[in-house]
């Protein structure tokens, strides 16, 4: 297994990976508004996974839906390396990865360029002083709104009851359209949505093995 430094070095050579920080994003990102034409070279929907970690969910969705484009976003390049290498080895041309802060996500995509957003097992930031760091805080939702299509959806999967309840409160307070939610996805998953439980991230496997209930929320921002 490569060391962390070896992963970082190889990560920088991957053509399906982009390292984006404010210094270069503030000057304009060449793929903003051109992901379909210049990178994926098709007109398929674009789906983001925010905080993708090793990219298990991004890869799983991409393998199951070859007619959609997937982009995993995380700040940890040595984590992304795993999913990016797997995508290359399996010749998944509908996958890309970005190493960047989610705070900068609206610099990376144009208005209406994204069809769906997945937030899978984010840090729940349980401290009251860390509310603004929660990925479903209104500050982040306003960033997502800039790039998400008007009928686009946001999906959240979490093991954290407090994060799940917090997200529902934000949805209610901001009068956002709530499509569906459950505090026990594995018990209540609809028959036509089995993909929701078919793909498991590292953390999801860990939580379910411990007997934790997985929570799910699907909503819109318009």
Q: What angle do CA 61, 19, 155 make, to 5 degrees?
A: 30
Strand ranges across the sheet with 114-120: 17-19, 95-99, 69-74, 46-50, 114-120, 148-158, 215-220, 178-182
Identify any residues that bridge with 180 across adjacent strands, giving them in sequence order: 218
Kindly tell me the burial class for residue 30, based on how many C-beta atoms sit within 10 Å of its own C-beta (0-12, 13-18, 19 or more).
Answer: exposed
Q: Is 38 a catalytic residue?
A: no
Domains of the chain: 1-23+35-44+68-103 (no CATH), 110-222 (3.40.50.150)
Single out the catalytic residue among 103, 123, 151, 159: 123
What's residue 128's pLDDT? 82
For the entire predicted model, the pTM comes to 0.95
pLDDT beneath 70, residues of the chain: none
- What confidence tens digit (pLDDT) does each residue in 150-185 have? 999 999 999 999 999 999 999 999 999 999 999 999
d(CA 111, CA 94): 21
Identify any residues that bridge with 47 across adjacent strands, giving them in sequence order: 70, 116
DSSP code, position 75: S
């Amino acid at each position: 297994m490569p060391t962390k430094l070896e992963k970082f070095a190889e990560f920088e050579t991957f053509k399906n990976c982009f390292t984006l920080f404010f210094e270069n994003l503030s000057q304009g990102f060449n793929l903003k508004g051109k992901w379909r034409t210049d990178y994926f070279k098709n007109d398929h929907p674009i789906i983001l996974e925010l905080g993708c970690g090793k990219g298990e969910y991004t890869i799983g969705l991409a393998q199951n839906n070859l007619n959609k484009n997937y982009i995993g976003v995380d700040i940890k390049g040595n984590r992304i390396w795993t999913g990016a290498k797997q995508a290359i080895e399996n010749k998944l041309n509908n996958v890309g990865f970005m190493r960047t802060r989610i705070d900068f996500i609206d610099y990376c995509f144009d208005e209406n360029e994204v069809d769906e957003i997945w937030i899978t097992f984010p840090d729940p930031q349980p401290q009251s002083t860390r509310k603004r760091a929660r990925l479903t805080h209104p500050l982040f939702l306003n960033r997502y709104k800039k790039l998400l299509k008007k009928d686009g959806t946001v999906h959240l999967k979490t093991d954290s009851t407090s994060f799940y309840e917090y997200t529902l409160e934000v949805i209610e307070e901001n009068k956002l359209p709530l499509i569906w939610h459950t505090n026990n996805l594995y018990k209540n998953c609809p028959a036509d949505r089995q993909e929701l439980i078919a793909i498991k991230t590292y953390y999801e496997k860990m939580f379910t093995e411990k007997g934790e209930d997985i929570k799910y929320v699907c909503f819109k921002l318009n």
